[in-house]
Structure 1
């Protein structure tokens, strides 16, 4: 069986239209072009894209976190609906956490819709725990958000877990005929 190479790389403003297309497919236009532009230009924002092997412009997934003091605040994680249940979300989350570790960040946090059991399950696989609830957090339907938290990113136990997660992610991707390729630019370095 031949595997198709998925490429993960940092995004920049050249990727704005692809981001908007993916946003529409995943969220029906949650963020605006200005919002994505701010994220891409912020020195505290680490924005990754997951690209298809058969297209240098087709964005299959995206993930972003802000570096705030010693914390990685994950602001978005999305995979195009056509590519759900293939391990791509795991690959993006793994990559975000690897970068956070490389940046010496000590913990990660995020908000997720209380009804989004698929996402909650993914985060729990990576060790996130529920730390609280934000009532009426989402403007579109006043749904609550769960606040998820992962601490100890610099602890030897988590660093060992991260290596295990890499193997798990690669195995999961291979079952869907994908192979993870990190771009030429090391993920720890942002252009």
Structure 2
């Protein structure tokens, strides 16, 4: 089985139409073009994308976090529905955490729908723990959000975890015929 190459990179204004298309496919239009442009322009925001050069959908996934003091607040993790359950979400979480660590941030946090078991399981793979609950957080249906937290991004043990996750993700991607370049 031939593997297809994946490329992970920071997103730019040139990617805006692909970003909006992915947002629509995953969230039904969560953020606007102006909202994404603000993220791209902000020095406190990191917006990363996974691309497959030979795919009909070139932007397969994206993730974003805001740097707030010593915290990486993860705001978006999205993988196109056609490409879910292939390790791309893991690659995005890894890339976000590595970028946060490289920026000398000490912890990561995010909110996730309490019913989103697949996402919660993904975050727990990376050591996120439930720190609390935001009641009726989501405006579309009043669902609660769980607040997940991961600390010690600057500890030597976290660097070891990053290497372990990198190896785990490469193996998972290979099972789905992907190769990160």
> Is TM (by shorter chain) over 0.5?
yes
After superposition, residues 55-70 of structure 1 pair within 5 angstroms as 55=55, 58-70=58-70
Q: Shift of the alpha carbon at 1:56?
A: 9.5
Which residues in structure 2 correspond to 1:86-97 (within 5 Å)? 86-97=86-97
Question: Structure 2: 5+ residue runs without aligned partners?
Answer: none
Distance apart, 1:147 and its partner CA: 0.3
**Structure 2 counterparts to residues 78-117 of structure 1, below 5 A:** 78-117=78-117
Deviation string for 1:142-189 (max 9, x for gaps)? Answer: 1100000000011111110111000000000000000112xxxxxxxx
Q: What residue number does 1:125 align with? A: 125
Map of 1:30 onto structure 2: 30
TM-score with structure 2 setting the length: 0.97
Show structure 1 runs of 5+ residues with no match: 182-191
Which residue does 2:143 correspond to in 1?
143
Q: So what's the TM-score if we normalise by structure 1?
A: 0.92
User: How far apart are the structure 2 equivalents of 1:7 and 1:173?
Assistant: 12
* Superposition deviation, residue 2 in structure 1: 2.3
Partner Cα distance (1:40, 1:120) in 2: 27
In the alignment, what sits opposite 2:175?
A: 175
CA RMSD of aligned residues (A): 1.2
Go from structure 1 to structure 2 and tell me whether the alpha carbon gap of 1:169 and 1:21 turns closer, same or farther (over 3 Å shift). Answer: same
C-alpha distance in 2 between matches for 1:56 and 1:139: 33
Q: Determine the C-alpha separation between the residues in 2 that align with 1:164 and 1:16.
A: 33
Aligned length: 181
What corresponds to 1:187 in structure 2?
none
Show structure 1 runs of 4+ deviating over 3 A.
Answer: none
